[in-house]
């Protein structure tokens, strides 16, 4: 057990983590945020380095994975924003209120979403609404990644169920994979 006056073995690696984060991000502020997130994760879940792997190597792996997750999240958000901008730009007529049939369908989707089992609703909310990766959703909900994937598949299928054919073909639940 570590004595309170002993230096924290994780914090000893902070300068090296900062240098590595700065190399990855090329931005001092982003690098500091990345190091803070890494240290927070390391303190929330004590290091579990693989056999023969040092704490330093484990911390660098955590930092790199957080950096890659952030890149993916930003790219995904940028793609959604670009797609929305493209959709708005290609619309020939000004936006009009949804017709009654489509408004009814959207209300039904909302009702079906609320009727989903808690696990499916939580998985769909994390991935499709919050923009989390499957791993982040699994960590947040405390379940394996495979369970997240299974719950998402079932939730998406339930939301498409009984949808009018032209609408069901166009309905895509964003976030993660949607290969139905």
Per-residue pLDDT tens over the stretch 43-59: 888 766 666 678 888 89
Q: Encoding tokens for residue 129?
A: 């609404």
pLDDT 10s digits, 91-121: 655 555 557 777 787 788 888 888 888 888 8
13 secondary structure, DSSP code: G
As a whole number of angstroms, the distance between CA 153 and CA 124 comes to 9
Q: Can you tell me which residue has the tokens 């949808």?
A: 163
Residues 151 and 124: beta-carbon distance below 8 Å: yes
How far apart are the C-alpha atoms of 38 and 78, rounded to whole Å? 24
What domains sit in the chain, N to C, each tagged with a CATH number?
11-74 (1.10.1740.10), 97-170 (1.10.10.10)
152, 138 in Cβ contact below 8 A?
Answer: no
Task: Choose between 9 and 164: higher pLDDT.
Answer: 9
- ∠ at Cα 138 (133, 144), nearest 5°? 125
| pTM for the predicted model, two decimal places | 0.45
């Amino acid at each position: 057990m570590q004595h309170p006056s002993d230096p924290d073995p994780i914090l000893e690696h902070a300068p090296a983590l900062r240098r590595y984060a700065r190399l990855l991000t090329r931005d001092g502020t982003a690098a500091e945020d990345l190091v803070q997130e890494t240290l927070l994760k390391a303190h929330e879940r004590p290091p579990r380095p693989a056999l023969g792997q040092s704490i330093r190597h484990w911390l660098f792996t955590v930092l790199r994975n957080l950096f890659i997750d952030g890149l993916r999240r930003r790219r995904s958000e940028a793609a959604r924003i670009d797609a929305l901008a493209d959709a708005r730009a290609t619309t020939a007529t000004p936006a009009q209120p949804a017709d009654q049939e489509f408004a009814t369908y959207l209300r039904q989707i909302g009702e079906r979403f609320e009727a989903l089992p808690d696990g499916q609703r939580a998985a769909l909310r994390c991935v499709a609404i919050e923009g989390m990766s499957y791993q982040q959703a699994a960590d947040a909900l405390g379940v394996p990644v495979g369970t997240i994937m299974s719950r998402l598949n079932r939730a998406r299928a339930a939301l498409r169920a009984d949808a009018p054919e032209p609408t069901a073909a166009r309905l895509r639940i964003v976030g993660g994979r949607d290969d139905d």
